[in-house]
Amino acid sequence: MPAVNKVVGRNARRREGPDKLCGVAKYVDDHALPGCLFGATLRSTIACGRIRSVTLDPAFPWHEYVVVTADDIPGANYVALIENDQPLLAKDRVRHLMEPILLVAHGARAKAYAALAHVRVEYEEEAPLLDPEQSKTVFKTFHIERGAVEAALAAAAVVVEGEYRLPHQEQAYIETNGAAAWFEADGTLVTLGSLQCPHYVVKALKAAFGLPEEKVRVIQAVTGGGFGGKEEYPNVICAHAGLLARKAGRPVKIIYDRHEDMAATTKRHPALVRFRSGATRDGRLVGQDVEILMDGGAYVTLSPVVLSRGTLHATGPYDCPNVRIRSRVVATNTPPNGAFRGFGAPQTLFAAEMQMERLAQKLGIDPLTIRRRNAIQAGSTLPVGQTLRESVGARQALEACAKRSAYARRARECTRWNRSPRRPSWRGIGLALVHHGAGFTGSGELYLGSRAAVTLTRDGELRVLSGSTEFGQGTTTLFSQIVAETLGVPLELVTVETPDTARVPNSGPTVASRTCMMVGRLLREAALELRAAVTASKSPFPDTQPALKAAARKLCGDAPAKRFEAVYRKPDWVSWDDKSYTGDAYEAYSYGAMAVELEIDKATFETAIRGVWIAADIGTVIHPLFAEGQVIGGATQGLGYALLESTLYEGGVMKNARFTDYTIPTTLDTPRMDVVFVPSPYSLGPFGAKGVGELPMDFPAPAVAAAVRHAISRFVDTLPITPERIASALGKDAAA
């Protein structure tokens, strides 16, 4: 490793930035495909029941349209994922409102949608199950136990109990879900889509079309945001576009409008978390008993893994010898919930942090001190029995956050402010401390067996080949930095291949805060192999275009390129038992602390944020500006979750499925944030880096709720904390 980083740790220009800034970057709907038809989806208008018949209006000119039903599926009628329970197109019964039943395509987009009105579906309606507490259909359960929790709680000096309700949350990427598909002359199905995980789509298309892997090709178009919302859902829309394209014999594009995207696609899982926590008189945790219920919606999708991550993070970044976590995710007749940044952890960490607030209040210890007394450090053991070896920056994050926010002083000032009844507002400051594991859980990375490669072409071009996708995080720039730094070449000499499954290896999905730490590590290994093949160990790698070209000629001989691929190898010390759910859940965790000061208007109960301070340990920071962008952007989504984003479900579907009625933070709802990194490098991360994407989603909601508690001396345990909820916590009628 060079003594001085030339590329890593610097704010390189976003590689694809100029194209995006000039409007020439091509998102899926920007691709003009000759002869392309537009697809529309007929969706269930009931939440549960049998489909008695589907009838096409005989007076309608259907010969001008392409129509696809379940009977047109050449392979298996399911969306291949964890369980194959979700039909691509419902045939006999529907299990949620907005479930796809039939597809129509036409050369004019508006005509395709208008045609849907000429299809009649008759149902035998059944009473839908909408309350997860009543559901008997359990998708997955976990039970983690360490120590003797009942005995510990019985002996604890204080015990606090809480019940927390977390709502659906919409990913609200600004580009809706969309895909295009066509068949090549040799029978290869090609899909081009707005998506995070091209190889997931390959798996789904193989099953749906009965095609071998080499006849399926998935290309990621420039993708306008994902946040998990384009992790598994593209399996559905890409397959639908493919089915229409197969029948039409022409390319077909499906682009959802905002309403359809919000009403039909996945959301963050709603959760109910019941929590008992016991501590000693001086605030040390002795027992934590957690029960988690998540609403999976009508089909399994990724619910078991979302529940897993929620379960594994459920007691927060705290030492506690006696822990029991029991969790389950169940079915309801609502559109399936799925991946969303944080992936189950924001729900449970909210509960864990509010328990710390309750303990602090009951013990008369301030919220900073109680966290100091319990925060994990190297050597701490988590509920799954994982003893943390290194790179544990929880305490550093907490201290940096407390210092930069002047937490103690502001807390005193808020308390003083609130003492005077003449003030027009209440003020409060809240703290939250969280951890977030990077990469797939437990043996997940081993099953994935991710691969990534670096290629040197005969013309001296260095290319990064990976299935990891860019959708704003900065993947492309980050990977260029890691490879350039490893080789000691200028950034400009490295290019990153578009994720196209015909060209790139399967690097696993672009999820779970794993891109930098896991795939970045593979790229560093591949680059080191390339380096060793080109130069003797001590001599410098050719770092100009002509020198690189000369070296490439020598290396490649007559071959057009030489490829160096790295495959994930489990570090020796990592051990995990899927049966008992114990062991090293994640190789490394990132840590973050947030302080938020806010003000609540005494007349309207509206909340205004006065300041936000964040400190995070994400290991070595490869690109400080992008990392800060991830933190501020994620924290903004978290502030939306905390204060604004209300999904209104009626009869089993989101009624306010549009931006007019579902409010996400604007510039005016978002304060300027103070962000600082306190790196505890991870020895096996590339240059010491860990994960950053999800962490900032975890801390805003509990920090806000803690600040609200400080302001009004009441707990609000249901999100979002709207003026109505504040009024009701104060025992006031909001309508009065």
Among 53, 134, 539, 667, binds other proteins (CB under 8 A): 667
List Cβ neighbours of 683 (8 Å cut-off, separation of 6 or more).
390, 391
Part in contact with other proteins (CB under 8 A); list of ranges 48-56, 242-250, 297-305, 622-630: 622-630
Binding to other proteins, residues 264-283 (CB under 8 A): none
Q: What are phi and psi of 690, to 5 degrees?
A: -120, -145
Q: Is 16 in the site for other proteins (CB under 8 A)?
A: yes
Q: Is 197 in the site for other proteins (CB under 8 A)?
A: no
Q: Is 173 in the site for other proteins (CB under 8 A)?
A: yes
Q: Is 117 in the site for other proteins (CB under 8 A)?
A: no
Q: Is 142 in the site for other proteins (CB under 8 A)?
A: no
Site residue total, other proteins (CB under 8 A): 57
Q: Is 22 in the site for other proteins (CB under 8 A)?
A: yes
Q: How many residues does the chain have?
A: 736
E strands within 638-696?
A: 649-650, 653-654, 673-677
Residue 519: strand, helix, or coil? helix
Task: Tell me how far, at minimum, the Cβ of 659 lies from other proteins, in Å.
Answer: 4
Q: Is 659 in the site for other proteins (CB under 8 A)?
A: yes
Among 585, 664, 712, 726, binds other proteins (CB under 8 A): 664
Part in contact with other proteins (CB under 8 A); list of ranges 133-141, 501-509, 628-636, 713-721: 628-636
Alpha helices per DSSP H over 274-431: 303-312, 345-363, 367-374, 394-404, 407-419
Among 19, 124, 492, 577, binds other proteins (CB under 8 A): 19
Task: Tell me how far, at minimum, the Cβ of 316 lies from other proteins, in Å.
Answer: 24
Task: Say whether the peptide bond before residue 720 is cis (omega within 30 degrees of 0).
Answer: yes
- Strands in 561-567's sheet, in edge-to-edge order, are 494-496, 462-465, 451-457, 561-567
Among candidate residues 447, 468, 590, the one with its CA nearest the CA of residue 523? 468
Q: Is 611 in the site for other proteins (CB under 8 A)?
A: no
Rounded CA-CA distance 288/279 in Å is 9
Nearer to other proteins by Cβ, of 106 and 524: the residue is 106
Strand partners, 190: 182, 217
Among 65, 182, 318, 471, binds other proteins (CB under 8 A): 471
Part in contact with other proteins (CB under 8 A); list of ranges 166-174, 182-190, 486-494, 512-520: 166-174
Q: Is 84 in the site for other proteins (CB under 8 A)?
A: no
Rounded CA-CA distance 347/718 in Å is 11
Q: Is 29 in the site for other proteins (CB under 8 A)?
A: yes
Task: Tell me how far, at minimum, the Cβ of 719 lies from other proteins, in Å.
Answer: 18
Q: Is 14 in the site for other proteins (CB under 8 A)?
A: yes
Among candidate residues 633, 504, 636, the one with its CA nearest the CA of residue 565? 504
Nearer to other proteins by Cβ, of 283 and 342: the residue is 342
Rounded CA-CA distance 250/110 in Å is 18
Nearer to other proteins by Cβ, of 223 and 374: the residue is 223
List Cβ neighbours of 161 (8 Å cut-off, separation of 6 or more).
274, 275, 276, 277, 358
Strand partners, 660: none
E strands within 439-587?
A: 451-457, 462-465, 494-496, 561-567, 576-577, 582-583
Q: Is 17 in the site for other proteins (CB under 8 A)?
A: yes
Rounded CA-CA distance 268/338 in Å is 6
Rounded CA-CA distance 180/222 in Å is 13
Structure tokens at 27: 């998102």
Task: Tell me how far, at minimum, the Cβ of 596 lies from other proteins, in Å.
Answer: 14
> Cβ(217)–Cβ(504) under 8 Å?
no
Nearer to other proteins by Cβ, of 539 and 660: the residue is 660
Q: What is the CA radius of gyration of the chain?
A: 26
DSSP 603: T
Rounded CA-CA distance 599/428 in Å is 7
Among 9, 162, 225, 488, binds other proteins (CB under 8 A): 225
Residue 318: strand, helix, or coil? strand
Rounded CA-CA distance 609/642 in Å is 12
Among 625, 684, 730, 734, binds other proteins (CB under 8 A): 625
Part in contact with other proteins (CB under 8 A); list of ranges 217-225, 240-248, 480-488, 701-709: 217-225
Among 257, 282, 459, 650, binds other proteins (CB under 8 A): 257
Q: Is 629 in the site for other proteins (CB under 8 A)?
A: yes
Among 258, 372, 404, 570, binds other proteins (CB under 8 A): 258
Rounded CA-CA distance 638/633 in Å is 9
Among candidate residues 4, 66, 460, 33, the one with its CA nearest the CA of residue 251? 33
Rounded CA-CA distance 327/291 in Å is 6
Part in contact with other proteins (CB under 8 A); list of ranges 23-31, 69-77, 369-377, 489-497: 23-31
Among 39, 467, 472, 681, binds other proteins (CB under 8 A): 472
Rounded CA-CA distance 610/704 in Å is 11
Task: Tell me how far, at minimum, the Cβ of 672 lies from other proteins, in Å.
Answer: 6
Q: Is 26 in the site for other proteins (CB under 8 A)?
A: yes
Q: Is 13 in the site for other proteins (CB under 8 A)?
A: yes
List Cβ neighbours of 101 (8 Å cut-off, separation of 6 or more).
42, 43, 44, 51, 54, 69, 89, 90, 94, 121
Alpha helices per DSSP H over 619-676: 624-639
Part in contact with other proteins (CB under 8 A); list of ranges 57-65, 84-92, 421-429, 664-672: 664-672
Task: Tell me how far, at minimum, the Cβ of 670 lies from other proteins, in Å.
Answer: 5
**How far, in whole angstroms, is CA 29 from its chain's centroid?**
24
**End-to-end alpha-carbon separation of the chain, Å?**
66
Among 670, 676, 718, 728, binds other proteins (CB under 8 A): 670
Among 364, 560, 660, 733, binds other proteins (CB under 8 A): 660
DSSP 197: -
Q: Is 628 in the site for other proteins (CB under 8 A)?
A: yes
Part in contact with other proteins (CB under 8 A); list of ranges 120-128, 231-239, 385-393, 656-664: 656-664
Task: Tell me how far, at minimum, the Cβ of 613 lies from other proteins, in Å.
Answer: 13
Q: Is 697 in the site for other proteins (CB under 8 A)?
A: no
Among 99, 175, 399, 694, binds other proteins (CB under 8 A): 175
Part in contact with other proteins (CB under 8 A); list of ranges 53-61, 224-232, 443-451, 498-506: 224-232
Among 666, 683, 713, 732, binds other proteins (CB under 8 A): 666
Note the residues at the interface with other proteins (CB under 8 A). 11, 13-14, 16-27, 29-30, 32, 171-176, 222-227, 257-258, 471-474, 625-626, 628-629, 632-637, 658-660, 664-668, 670, 672-673
